[in-house]
Structure 1
Amino acid sequence: MDLLALLPAFVIAVLLISASPGPAMILIFRQAAFRGWRAAVPTVLGLEAGLYVWALAAGAGLAALVAASEVAFVVLRVVGAVFLVYLGIKTWRTVWRSRTHRGVEQSDAEALITPSVSRRGWWRAFGEGTVVMLANPKAAFFMIAFYPQFIPAHRSLFATTALLAVVQVLVETAFYLTLAAVAGRTGAWFRRPRIRRRVDAISGAVLVALGLRLAMTTR
């Protein structure tokens, strides 16, 4: 079957996968809700940069080597788990700091103001997204199992994988930025101190739980 005939099914599969809950969704939602949709852009770009690196690795056969190597699998699993737990604890610390300064509550008028994103904050968000994607061994298994289903036998594995990855990056970027725009529209409500503390507490718990689940992941 020709590649063009397979693209609609590929795009639908990518959308379904993108919509599944996970660390990516949490990071994007928090950035957009608390800092506006523009703040979610570096997170999205970081996630997609990590995804594309994995796709190129899969096309070159490196992802298969990582998946087959017990040492590489364990290292990625531990790094990914530690980083997710770190992000969760970092989120909880935000809750704790806000509780210790409850005397200075943000007014509704202040909540309407979208916080600006510094250059340093932009790159930090980009880095977090990239590390979350690259330090996930499941990404290697995903590329190995998912992409070959949409690559015709007569086409180059590496070139076609790189092309499909571009399609996936574009589709996911559009989807995640749409999600960020929706979350950003309700940002004033989420930036209220009481609501933000609750969202941070829940998202921190989810990130820690995802990290622990990743740590216990087996092949």
Structure 2
Amino acid sequence: MTLETWLVYLAASIGLSLTPGPNGLLALTHGALYGPGRTLATIGGGALGFMGVIGLSMFGIASVLSLAGELLLVMKVVGGLYLVWLGVQVWRSPAPGGGFGALEGGASGWAMARQGLLSALANPKAILFFAAFLPQFIDPAASLWWQFVIMAVTFALVECLTELLIAGFAGRLSGWLARSGRGFNRACGGVFMLIGAWLPLSRSS
């Protein structure tokens, strides 16, 4: 991959990361509930999930999914159910009125990382999206593995920085959340549930 191609890919990755999605919303929610520091586990899990999605897209799983409509529907239903379940958990989370320390035991680092990972993997349409997005930057004459490493690490770092900024922004809202934390949790949880309900009904293409 040439430097010019990588710079274009970097710019595209930044634009993609700034597009609202489940992982950005999860970083916002965890940043508000647990603080930016603990949200690093969520962000790391999500980055690992996106690297997996990029790998699946680059190495041919996307073409299988595009041909097997029934398999894609099953993955949509499973992903949608997970997002609905996650929305219920966020809805029921305690309001962060006592500060971040009051929620210290609310979720383990592993549980937060797992939620970030599964949120990145829950939407199979992401695989199809990356399957259309990545070929624009692939050099067929170069090593596919090496290009995968460059693209996956680049996107993961961009996504981590974007979500860290989102979590930090949420952390600055502690005064407002002390007053309106329950409403914030229910709004975020409701969005997760809406995304989960919409996912199986969305078109495959």
Q: TM-score, normalised by structure 1?
A: 0.84
User: Which amino acid is the alignment partner of residue 197 of structure 2?
Assistant: L
**Bigger Rg, which one:** 1
User: Which amino acid is the alignment partner of residue 183 of structure 2?
Assistant: R
Q: Tell me by how many angstroms 1:51 deviates.
A: 0.8
Corresponding position of 2:183: 198
Equivalences, count: 204
Segments ≥4 residues shifted beyond 6 Å: none
Q: Tell me by how many angstroms 1:198 deviates.
A: 1.0
Q: Tell me by how many angstroms 1:86 deviates.
A: 0.9
- 8 A Cα contact 2:92 2:186, kept in partner: no
Tell me the percent identity.
Answer: 28
Greater shift, 143-152 or 115-124, is seen at 115-124
- 8 A Cα contact 2:17 2:159, kept in partner: yes
Alignment of 1:136 onto 2:123: yes
Greater shift, 29-38 or 70-79, is seen at 70-79
Q: Which segments of 5 or more consecutive residues in structure 2 lack a partner in the other structure?
A: none
Alignment of 1:207 onto 2:199: no
Q: Which segments of 5 or more consecutive residues in structure 1 lack a partner in the other structure?
A: 99-104
Corresponding position of 2:52: 53
Alignment of 1:89 onto 2:84: no
Alignment of 1:216 onto 2:180: no
Alignment of 1:189 onto 2:176: yes
- 8 A Cα contact 2:56 2:62, kept in partner: yes
Q: Write the mapping of 1:73-112 to structure 2, written as runs, cut at 5 A.
A: 73-94=72-93, 106=97, 110-111=98-99
- Work out the CA distance in 2 between the residues paired with 1:204 and 1:31: 12
Corresponding position of 2:29: 30
- Work out the CA distance in 1 between the residues paired with 2:193 and 2:106: 27
Greater shift, 148-157 or 131-140, is seen at 148-157
- 8 A Cα contact 2:84 2:197, kept in partner: yes
| Superposed CA RMSD | 2.2
Over residues 43-97 of structure 1, what are the superposed CA-to-partner deviations in whole Å (9 max), with x where a residue is unaligned?
11111111111212222222322333223211210111001111112223337xx
Q: TM-score, normalised by structure 2?
A: 0.89
- Work out the CA distance in 1 between the residues paired with 2:164 and 2:53: 21
Matched residue SS, 1:94: coil
Over residues 85-130 of structure 1, what are the superposed CA-to-partner deviations in whole Å (9 max), with x where a residue is unaligned?
11112223337xx7xxxxxx95xxx43x544645961111111111
Corresponding position of 1:165: 152
- Work out the CA distance in 1 between the residues paired with 2:7 and 2:150: 14
Over residues 128-155 of structure 1, what are the superposed CA-to-partner deviations in whole Å (9 max), with x where a residue is unaligned?
1111111211111122111110112322
Corresponding position of 1:66: 65
